[in-house]
Chain A
Amino acid sequence: MAEAEPVMVPIQDELDIVRARQEGRQLAKDAGFGPVDLARVATAISELARNIYNYARPGTIELKKIQRGSRRGIQVVAQDHGPGIDNVEEAMRDGYTTSGGLGAGLPGTRRLVDEFEIVSRRNEGTTVTVRKWLR
Protein backbone atom coordinates (compact mmCIF):
# COMPACT_ATOMS: atom_id res chain seq x y z
CA MET A 1 0.00 0.00 0.00
CA ALA A 2 1.13 3.56 -0.67
CA GLU A 3 2.77 5.39 2.19
CA ALA A 4 1.52 8.88 2.87
CA GLU A 5 3.93 11.72 2.23
CA PRO A 6 5.51 12.71 5.57
CA VAL A 7 5.47 16.27 6.92
CA MET A 8 8.90 17.38 8.17
CA VAL A 9 9.16 20.10 10.80
CA PRO A 10 12.69 21.27 11.65
CA ILE A 11 13.18 22.00 15.37
CA GLN A 12 15.61 24.89 15.68
CA ASP A 13 13.97 27.62 17.69
CA GLU A 14 11.29 27.67 20.33
CA LEU A 15 8.42 28.54 17.97
CA ASP A 16 9.10 25.34 16.04
CA ILE A 17 7.67 23.44 19.03
CA VAL A 18 4.31 25.13 18.44
CA ARG A 19 4.60 24.58 14.68
CA ALA A 20 5.28 20.86 15.14
CA ARG A 21 2.30 20.26 17.43
CA GLN A 22 -0.03 22.31 15.20
CA GLU A 23 1.02 20.34 12.09
CA GLY A 24 0.63 17.11 14.05
CA ARG A 25 -2.78 18.05 15.37
CA GLN A 26 -3.95 18.92 11.83
CA LEU A 27 -2.66 15.65 10.42
CA ALA A 28 -4.26 13.66 13.26
CA LYS A 29 -7.52 15.52 12.70
CA ASP A 30 -7.42 14.66 8.99
CA ALA A 31 -6.81 11.04 9.97
CA GLY A 32 -10.03 11.07 11.98
CA PHE A 33 -8.89 11.28 15.60
CA GLY A 34 -11.29 12.72 18.21
CA PRO A 35 -10.58 15.58 20.63
CA VAL A 36 -9.00 13.51 23.43
CA ASP A 37 -6.59 11.72 21.08
CA LEU A 38 -5.85 15.02 19.33
CA ALA A 39 -4.79 16.45 22.70
CA ARG A 40 -2.68 13.33 23.38
CA VAL A 41 -0.96 13.54 19.99
CA ALA A 42 -0.35 17.29 20.22
CA THR A 43 1.01 16.96 23.76
CA ALA A 44 3.29 14.04 22.86
CA ILE A 45 4.70 16.01 19.91
CA SER A 46 5.20 19.04 22.14
CA GLU A 47 7.18 16.98 24.68
CA LEU A 48 9.33 15.34 21.99
CA ALA A 49 9.98 18.65 20.21
CA ARG A 50 10.90 20.34 23.49
CA ASN A 51 13.38 17.54 24.29
CA ILE A 52 15.10 18.28 20.98
CA TYR A 53 15.00 22.03 21.57
CA ASN A 54 16.36 21.75 25.13
CA TYR A 55 19.08 19.16 24.66
CA ALA A 56 19.90 18.48 21.05
CA ARG A 57 18.80 21.13 18.62
CA PRO A 58 18.60 21.23 15.69
CA GLY A 59 16.52 18.17 14.99
CA THR A 60 13.38 17.20 13.13
CA ILE A 61 9.86 16.03 13.82
CA GLU A 62 8.51 13.84 11.02
CA LEU A 63 4.76 13.32 10.94
CA LYS A 64 2.79 10.97 8.77
CA LYS A 65 -0.41 9.02 8.49
CA ILE A 66 0.19 5.28 8.63
CA GLN A 67 -1.67 2.09 7.91
CA ARG A 68 -1.00 -1.44 9.19
CA GLY A 69 -3.47 -4.01 7.98
CA SER A 70 -6.86 -2.48 8.59
CA ARG A 71 -5.57 -0.14 11.29
CA ARG A 72 -4.91 3.48 10.56
CA GLY A 73 -3.06 5.98 12.63
CA ILE A 74 -0.35 8.58 12.88
CA GLN A 75 3.38 8.21 13.39
CA VAL A 76 5.73 10.79 14.86
CA VAL A 77 9.50 10.43 14.54
CA ALA A 78 11.59 12.83 16.61
CA GLN A 79 15.20 12.75 15.49
CA ASP A 80 18.28 14.65 16.59
CA HIS A 81 22.05 14.34 16.26
CA GLY A 82 22.74 15.61 19.76
CA PRO A 83 24.72 14.09 22.62
CA GLY A 84 22.42 11.08 23.01
CA ILE A 85 20.93 9.85 26.27
CA ASP A 86 23.47 8.10 28.51
CA ASN A 87 21.00 5.90 30.29
CA VAL A 88 17.77 5.40 28.37
CA GLU A 89 16.32 3.17 31.08
CA GLU A 90 16.82 5.89 33.67
CA ALA A 91 15.38 8.58 31.35
CA MET A 92 12.24 6.46 30.97
CA ARG A 93 11.61 6.46 34.73
CA ASP A 94 8.90 8.73 36.12
CA GLY A 95 10.27 11.79 37.83
CA TYR A 96 13.53 11.81 35.90
CA THR A 97 14.50 15.32 34.88
CA THR A 98 17.63 17.27 34.16
CA SER A 99 15.96 20.53 33.20
CA GLY A 100 14.05 21.51 36.32
CA GLY A 101 10.77 20.63 34.60
CA LEU A 102 8.11 18.48 36.16
CA GLY A 103 9.84 15.37 34.87
CA ALA A 104 6.91 14.28 32.72
CA GLY A 105 9.17 14.05 29.66
CA LEU A 106 9.62 10.64 28.08
CA PRO A 107 7.66 8.39 30.48
CA GLY A 108 4.71 10.78 30.34
CA THR A 109 4.88 10.86 26.56
CA ARG A 110 4.90 7.05 26.41
CA ARG A 111 1.59 6.94 28.30
CA LEU A 112 -0.07 9.23 25.72
CA VAL A 113 0.63 6.99 22.73
CA ASP A 114 0.08 3.35 21.73
CA GLU A 115 3.62 2.51 20.60
CA PHE A 116 6.88 4.06 21.75
CA GLU A 117 10.40 3.22 20.57
CA ILE A 118 13.62 4.97 21.47
CA VAL A 119 17.09 4.51 20.02
CA SER A 120 19.90 6.61 21.44
CA ARG A 121 23.63 6.46 20.79
CA ARG A 122 26.21 8.52 22.61
CA ASN A 123 27.40 11.46 20.48
CA GLU A 124 25.27 10.29 17.56
CA GLY A 125 21.81 11.31 18.63
CA THR A 126 18.41 10.07 19.59
CA THR A 127 15.42 8.88 17.59
CA VAL A 128 12.05 8.48 19.26
CA THR A 129 9.23 6.91 17.23
CA VAL A 130 5.67 6.99 18.54
CA ARG A 131 2.43 5.77 16.98
CA LYS A 132 -1.19 6.38 17.81
CA TRP A 133 -3.88 4.19 16.27
CA LEU A 134 -7.48 5.07 15.53
CA ARG A 135 -9.88 3.13 17.72
Chain B
Amino acid sequence: MVQKIPILKIGEALIASIQIELNDESAVQLKEDILNQISATGATGVVIDLTAVDMVDSFLGKIVRDTAFMARLMGAQVVCTGIQPAVAITLVELGLELEGVVTALNLEQGLVRLAGMVAGGGGNG
Protein backbone atom coordinates (compact mmCIF):
# COMPACT_ATOMS: atom_id res chain seq x y z
CA MET B 1 0.00 0.00 0.00
CA VAL B 2 1.74 3.14 -1.22
CA GLN B 3 0.52 6.51 0.00
CA LYS B 4 1.63 9.44 -2.14
CA ILE B 5 2.97 12.57 -0.50
CA PRO B 6 1.99 15.63 -2.57
CA ILE B 7 4.94 17.64 -3.87
CA LEU B 8 4.26 21.35 -4.44
CA LYS B 9 6.34 23.70 -6.55
CA ILE B 10 6.82 27.28 -5.42
CA GLY B 11 9.18 29.29 -7.59
CA GLU B 12 12.32 27.20 -8.03
CA ALA B 13 11.63 25.05 -4.99
CA LEU B 14 9.76 21.83 -4.42
CA ILE B 15 8.04 21.32 -1.07
CA ALA B 16 7.13 17.89 0.30
CA SER B 17 5.39 17.99 3.65
CA ILE B 18 4.99 14.61 5.31
CA GLN B 19 1.63 14.62 7.09
CA ILE B 20 1.01 10.89 7.46
CA GLU B 21 2.76 7.97 9.15
CA LEU B 22 4.97 6.69 6.34
CA ASN B 23 5.40 3.00 5.78
CA ASP B 24 8.65 1.89 4.09
CA GLU B 25 7.18 1.59 0.61
CA SER B 26 5.65 5.08 0.76
CA ALA B 27 8.99 6.50 1.91
CA VAL B 28 10.77 4.91 -1.05
CA GLN B 29 8.05 6.25 -3.34
CA LEU B 30 8.53 9.76 -1.93
CA LYS B 31 12.26 9.59 -2.62
CA GLU B 32 11.64 8.61 -6.24
CA ASP B 33 8.86 11.18 -6.68
CA ILE B 34 11.13 13.98 -5.45
CA LEU B 35 13.95 13.00 -7.80
CA ASN B 36 11.55 12.67 -10.74
CA GLN B 37 9.98 16.05 -9.94
CA ILE B 38 13.43 17.70 -9.84
CA SER B 39 14.08 16.29 -13.29
CA ALA B 40 10.65 17.21 -14.66
CA THR B 41 10.43 20.75 -13.28
CA GLY B 42 14.07 21.87 -13.19
CA ALA B 43 13.69 22.79 -9.53
CA THR B 44 16.97 23.82 -7.89
CA GLY B 45 15.90 23.15 -4.32
CA VAL B 46 13.71 20.87 -2.24
CA VAL B 47 12.30 21.28 1.25
CA ILE B 48 11.29 18.09 3.04
CA ASP B 49 9.11 19.22 5.93
CA LEU B 50 9.01 16.83 8.90
CA THR B 51 6.95 19.05 11.25
CA ALA B 52 4.13 16.50 11.52
CA VAL B 53 6.43 13.48 11.82
CA ASP B 54 6.60 12.08 15.36
CA MET B 55 9.06 9.25 14.69
CA VAL B 56 12.04 8.77 12.36
CA ASP B 57 13.57 5.30 12.50
CA SER B 58 16.77 4.16 10.77
CA PHE B 59 14.90 3.33 7.57
CA LEU B 60 13.23 6.72 7.17
CA GLY B 61 16.46 8.43 8.27
CA LYS B 62 18.34 6.65 5.52
CA ILE B 63 15.68 7.59 2.96
CA VAL B 64 15.92 11.28 3.94
CA ARG B 65 19.72 11.21 3.76
CA ASP B 66 19.76 9.31 0.46
CA THR B 67 17.22 11.71 -1.06
CA ALA B 68 19.37 14.71 -0.09
CA PHE B 69 22.53 13.15 -1.57
CA MET B 70 20.80 11.96 -4.74
CA ALA B 71 19.17 15.36 -5.32
CA ARG B 72 22.60 16.98 -4.89
CA LEU B 73 24.01 14.70 -7.59
CA MET B 74 21.28 16.01 -9.87
CA GLY B 75 22.16 19.61 -9.03
CA ALA B 76 19.40 20.40 -6.52
CA GLN B 77 19.80 21.23 -2.82
CA VAL B 78 17.66 19.66 -0.08
CA VAL B 79 16.77 21.21 3.27
CA CYS B 80 14.93 19.20 5.97
CA THR B 81 12.71 21.31 8.17
CA GLY B 82 10.61 21.01 11.29
CA ILE B 83 12.38 18.11 13.04
CA GLN B 84 10.58 17.88 16.41
CA PRO B 85 12.51 17.77 19.71
CA ALA B 86 11.51 14.14 20.36
CA VAL B 87 12.64 13.16 16.86
CA ALA B 88 15.99 14.99 17.22
CA ILE B 89 16.65 13.27 20.57
CA THR B 90 15.71 9.85 19.22
CA LEU B 91 17.79 10.23 16.06
CA VAL B 92 20.96 11.12 17.96
CA GLU B 93 20.44 8.35 20.54
CA LEU B 94 19.88 5.93 17.71
CA GLY B 95 23.15 7.08 16.18
CA LEU B 96 21.68 8.77 13.10
CA GLU B 97 22.91 12.34 13.10
CA LEU B 98 22.11 12.72 9.37
CA GLU B 99 25.53 14.26 8.71
CA GLY B 100 25.61 16.17 5.46
CA VAL B 101 21.89 16.87 5.48
CA VAL B 102 21.05 20.57 5.74
CA THR B 103 18.28 21.37 8.21
CA ALA B 104 16.26 24.39 9.30
CA LEU B 105 13.89 25.04 12.19
CA ASN B 106 10.78 25.48 10.08
CA LEU B 107 9.49 25.72 6.53
CA GLU B 108 9.95 29.49 6.36
CA GLN B 109 13.60 29.35 7.46
CA GLY B 110 14.10 26.36 5.19
CA LEU B 111 13.08 28.35 2.15
CA VAL B 112 15.39 31.21 3.15
CA ARG B 113 18.24 28.73 3.65
CA LEU B 114 17.51 27.13 0.31
CA ALA B 115 17.55 30.48 -1.50
CA GLY B 116 20.97 31.19 0.03
CA MET B 117 22.34 27.78 -0.91
CA VAL B 118 21.11 27.97 -4.48
CA ALA B 119 22.46 31.51 -4.91
CA GLY B 120 25.79 30.55 -3.33
CA GLY B 121 25.89 27.21 -5.15
CA GLY B 122 27.03 25.44 -1.97
CA GLY B 123 25.71 22.31 -0.36
CA ASN B 124 26.69 23.04 3.19
CA GLY B 125 26.89 26.83 3.19
Interfacial residues, chain A to chain B (CB-CB below 8 A): 14-15, 17-18, 21-22, 25, 35-36, 38-40, 42-43, 46-47, 50, 94, 101-105, 107-109, 111-112
Most chain A CB within 10 A, of B21, B25, B93, is at B93
Cβ contacts under 8 Å, A43 to chain B: 55-57, 90, 94
A15 to B25, CA, bound (A): 9
Cβ contacts under 8 Å, A15 to chain B: 1, 23
B24 within 8 A of A: yes
Cβ contacts under 8 Å, A101 to chain B: 58-59, 62
B96 near A108: Cβ-Cβ < 8 Å = yes
Which of B32-40, B43-51, B81-89, B113-121 binds A? B81-89
A101 to B94, CA, bound (A): 13
Interfacial residues, chain B to chain A (CB-CB below 8 A): 1, 21, 23-25, 54-59, 61-62, 65, 84-87, 89-90, 93-96
Most chain B CB within 10 A, of A21, A39, A42, A101, is at A39
A38 near B54: Cβ-Cβ < 8 Å = yes
A17 to B56, CA, bound (A): 13
CB distance from A109 to the nearest CB of B (A): 8
A42 to B94, CA, bound (A): 12
Q: A102-B96, A104-B96 are in contact. Are A112 and B58 (CB under 8 A)?
A: no
A102 near B62: Cβ-Cβ < 8 Å = yes
B23 near A18: Cβ-Cβ < 8 Å = yes
B94 near A104: Cβ-Cβ < 8 Å = yes
